[in-house]
Structure 1
Amino acid sequence: ARNGSGAAMAASASLWHSYLGVIVSRERQRLEHFQRAEDILLTLLEGVHARDPRFLVDYARNLEAFEFALCTSEDAVTVEVPLRIDGDALRVLACWPGDTPTGHRSGLGTCCLEVPSPGTDLEDWTSTVGVMEWGGGARCLVPGKVLQHLKELLVSAIVHCQRQFLLQPGDLSAENLKEDTMELSLLIRGGWKTVRFDIVPVVRRQQEPLRLKGRQSDRGFPEGSLQKATEEAHFVPASPHCWRSSTHLPILKLLQAVDTLKGPRLDSLRLLDQLRSQDWGEEGGKGALTFNQLKMVLLWSTELFPSSEDWQDLEGSVYRLLVILLRCLAIQRLPHFLHPEENLFQGKPWDLASLYHKVESFAQDPPRFLRFHFGLPARTDSWQADAGTRALLQLPDKDGSYWDTAYFDILLSQFQVYRIQDGARHSAMSQLLSKIQREIPQQS
């Protein structure tokens, strides 16, 4: 049990804020490095646009900068290059199953984009592709051709900038362009830090704002956030022949909306991301958890804990994310916030049990981990889990009834960070706990 004395609580709060303070102090410098690297990237993209005006330069990079500053590790920055195409005139068709890339079921947005008629300036990017609707071929925009053309223009822009002495030796590495992937990666030096940009062409079209099935729209978010974030569909390459719906920018827009709410919500994300890169990685320094997955956890916690009472202090806010992350690790399922049928843990060769143990160790004894160190991460092998808490975290949930505020309130009370005065929530938590104890007496 935690020591609830005033002095102990003050010391604990000071520890949390000291750790966060070091993280935040680095952000300004990280942003400066990003902006220097971004300036070089924009120069290259302007060169691409000059050679082929169908590739547009999007100067509104505030969302990418916002994400880069938040992320404490060296994750790649995704940069979407819009195509000068009337996306609303394209017809979205399902790909043949054989064209569907591994990890993207057709139901999760994998598609072909049919070009309406010949005579457009897209002929060199189109080809006849098999589509399911017609049982035959349709003239479609081919992502492989678009990517190849963009790659050639990027190389040409790089050579031009080198000849004009706009690039200094060591400013840029284009080695990753040789890889056969669905994004074009450049390593660009901004100051003494190198930033990896993953460049992807994107087709944008208007769509009906997303409705979350069985969920209250905007619960926990500023009003209208979901509509603003999802009013435009973004299609990026999924394979040489298929496109897929991308939620990269919609998720960032929702994250930015969360930043307008009171409480240390994004600070909680910053803190957990530091732990992710410092203590939760696998051997060899490779992380089993991604920043994108932590973003999903924050969005779910915003919806499941909609009250400002949940976000009064840093420790309590971090635990709002922790209980959701632990539950997802325990059942090996992290639902995508906008498409809950998609499991973000699926198809990845991670040792989720080992990661669960590391996160659980932190949740039970944060002071052991709230410090900066170099070399090996903090040891967790000598620590014993609380059997009751672990049993609750691992409860089977076939109908999804535990993906609810009442269930996560029970977990918060187990970690002694509940501190909620709302009588209705107390009642819902007590009722659910009684139900769990009746159905699984051995867990009580």
Structure 2
Amino acid sequence: PPGSVLPQPAAMEASPSLWHSYLGVILSRERQRMEHFQRAEDILLTLLESVHARDPRFLVDYARNLEAFEFSVCASEDAVTLEVPLRIDGDTLRVLARRSSPEHPAELSTCCLELCSPRAGLEDWTGAVDGMEHCLLPGKILQHLKELLVSAIVRCQRLFLLQPGDISAENLREDALELSLLIRGSWKPVRFNIVPVVRRQQEPLQLRGRRSGRGFPAGSLSRATEEAHFVPASPLGWSDPAPGMAPGTAFLGSGLVPDPVLLSPSPQMVLLWSTELFPSPEDWQDLEGSVYRLLVILLRCLATRHLPHFLNPEENLFQGAAPDLASLYHKVESFAWDPQRFLRFHFGLHGFSGSCQADRETRALLQLPTRDGSCWDTAYFDILLSQFQVFRIQDSARRSAASQLLARIRQEIPQQS
């Protein structure tokens, strides 16, 4: 687009080979890390088998999605979440929404899972919530699972199924909605966060209009949304964070923004919107450009304090968020303009001036109010990519659309002195 600075040809030729080298190092390290995690997972599964033997209501998920697990391992810097399914027919439960308490208005809404009729074998997990007598209480389930885990550790060690030092349960004393275990791997302890989950079948999501599943393999969106996973949100309530969707925090793995605002489901939504807004294979040919496609979406959402839910665009996931979104915006912006300050490995990034100060036009573009939907489409984000010198799209139609939109937008941006 006119007025934007595109990378010089020499930089475009050199950059792919440098990023391929960078990617090769990552893949080499991740193969070793995967083997390390799998050894630690074997120890954890041995422990959970003992828990299941004591209480068959806690299941061991041997059929977990291997691809999702590997993605979680690669994306997680601190801990890996492992779901423990409950032997409960989720289809017999009534899901009733409940609002956050007045004491915690910023919390996400939760729901109650009520048994349609009292059932033998679940009495010790149920209680009264909001006037309903037979609701599953996450607090009771977590407490029971915690006691079983401690007992299972002792039993497995006595039977020499586990060696001394294989598992540390000291964090189980903490009152949390996930049970944290530190497990010895080959060279570094691995932290697993164990979460009980209730699975329930639901009607597969049917996207209408522009979001018709573009960017997803055929049938994958239906498979990913046909099962809801309810996890503890409080001692009394459950939540279903983006059903069936794997966490998408890989692009934050540099330690750039370890902020609670970007905990699930926000990174997932950024990844999902990227499949809608950048549909061409040309958009994802190199690592640098792929990261920036996520960054410009995140920057736009932080600048406007508005992140629409991919499945329900009328819902703003930043509604009621902590007031530090502005501080988080500046952190992400600093990374976008000078990534070398944040990356752990450097392979000669090209196309950057080295300045971490954004120019005025870019900031004005990011903060431009949305009026007719023109600031939430491919052409708008192509303009932002060109501002960061990572556009590199040869499609003449997309270049023309971005150029025309930029001309209209510049008429709305106040002239800077």
**Fold match (TM-score > 0.5):** yes
Counterpart CA distance in 2 for 1:3 and 1:128 is 62
Counterpart CA distance in 2 for 1:426 and 1:92 is 47
- Residue 232 of structure 2 is aligned to residue 237 of structure 1: yes
Aligned pairs (5 A) from 1:373-392: 383-392=356-365
- Which residue of 168, 184, 205 corresponds with 1:189? 184
Deviation at 1:208, TM superposition (A): 1.2
- Which residue of 398, 406, 416 corresponds with 1:425? 398
Counterpart CA distance in 1 for 2:290 and 2:119 is 56
Deviation at 1:297, TM superposition (A): 2.5
Q: Is the 8 A contact 1:34 1:195 kept in 2?
A: yes
1:300-349 Cα offsets, whole Å, 9 max, x none, are: 21111112232233333232222112223323444444455242585347
Deviation at 1:366, TM superposition (A): 4.9
Q: Which amino acid aligns with 2:120?
A: T
- Which residue of 166, 169, 172 corresponds with 2:167? 172
Aligned pairs (5 A) from 1:298-377: 298-340=271-313, 341-343=315-317, 347-348=321-322, 350=324, 352-366=325-339, 372=345
- Residue 120 of structure 2 is aligned to residue 120 of structure 1: yes
Deviation at 1:32, TM superposition (A): 1.0
Q: Is the 8 A contact 2:94 2:116 kept in 1?
A: yes
- Which residue of 214, 221, 244 corresponds with 1:250? 244
Deviation at 1:119, TM superposition (A): 4.2
Counterpart CA distance in 1 for 2:416 and 2:216 is 34
Deviation at 1:66, TM superposition (A): 1.4
- Which residue of 159, 170, 175 corresponds with 2:154? 159
Q: Which amino acid aligns with 1:392?
A: L
- Residue 132 of structure 2 is aligned to residue 137 of structure 1: yes
Q: Is the 8 A contact 2:338 2:354 kept in 1?
A: no
Secondary structure, aligned partner of 1:250: coil
Counterpart CA distance in 2 for 1:328 and 1:304 is 14
Counterpart CA distance in 2 for 1:186 and 1:369 is 30
Q: Is the 8 A contact 1:101 1:238 kept in 2?
A: no
1:183-207 Cα offsets, whole Å, 9 max, x none, are: 1111111112222111111111111
Counterpart CA distance in 2 for 1:123 and 1:291 is 31
User: Which residue in the other structure is 1:22 paired with?
Assistant: 25
Aligned pairs (5 A) from 1:272-311: 272-274=251-253, 276-277=254-255, 280-281=256-257, 293-311=266-284
Q: Where does the alignment leave 5 or more consecutive residues of structure 1 unmatched? A: 131-135, 256-268, 374-379
- Which residue of 2, 11, 14 corresponds with 1:11? 14
Q: Which amino acid aligns with 1:4?
A: Q
Q: Which amino acid aligns with 1:118?
A: P
Q: Is the 8 A contact 1:112 1:243 kept in 2?
A: yes
- Which residue of 61, 79, 82 corresponds with 1:79? 82
Q: Is the 8 A contact 1:100 1:239 kept in 2?
A: no
CA distance 1:160–1:102, shift in 2 (3 Å) = farther
User: Which residue in the other structure is 1:403 paired with?
Assistant: 376
Q: Which amino acid aligns with 2:272?
A: L
Counterpart CA distance in 2 for 1:159 and 1:349 is 45
Q: Percent identity?
A: 69
User: Which residue in the other structure is 1:47 paired with?
Assistant: 50
Q: Which amino acid aligns with 2:201?
A: Q
1:149-192 Cα offsets, whole Å, 9 max, x none, are: 11111111111112122222322111111111111111111112
Q: Is the 8 A contact 2:111 2:239 kept in 1?
A: yes
Counterpart CA distance in 1 for 2:241 and 2:163 is 34
Counterpart CA distance in 1 for 2:387 and 2:41 is 45
Q: Which amino acid aligns with 1:239?
A: S
Q: Is the 8 A contact 2:7 2:389 kept in 1?
A: no
Deviation at 1:370, TM superposition (A): 5.7
TM-score (norm 1): 0.80
Answer with 75-84 or 331-340: which moved more: 331-340
Counterpart CA distance in 1 for 2:113 and 2:328 is 39
TM-score (norm 2): 0.85
Secondary structure, aligned partner of 1:112: strand
Q: Is the 8 A contact 1:56 1:83 kept in 2?
A: yes
CA distance 1:128–1:298, shift in 2 (3 Å) = closer
- Residue 74 of structure 2 is aligned to residue 70 of structure 1: yes
What is the aligned-residue RMSD (CA, Å)?
A: 3.2
1:13-44 Cα offsets, whole Å, 9 max, x none, are: 33323333222221011111111111111111
Counterpart CA distance in 2 for 1:195 and 1:184 is 14
Deviation at 1:435, TM superposition (A): 2.8
CA distance 1:425–1:10, shift in 2 (3 Å) = closer
Q: Is the 8 A contact 1:333 1:345 kept in 2?
A: yes
- Residue 8 of structure 2 is aligned to residue 34 of structure 1: no
Q: Is the 8 A contact 1:100 1:242 kept in 2?
A: no
Counterpart CA distance in 1 for 2:306 and 2:101 is 27
Secondary structure, aligned partner of 2:195: strand
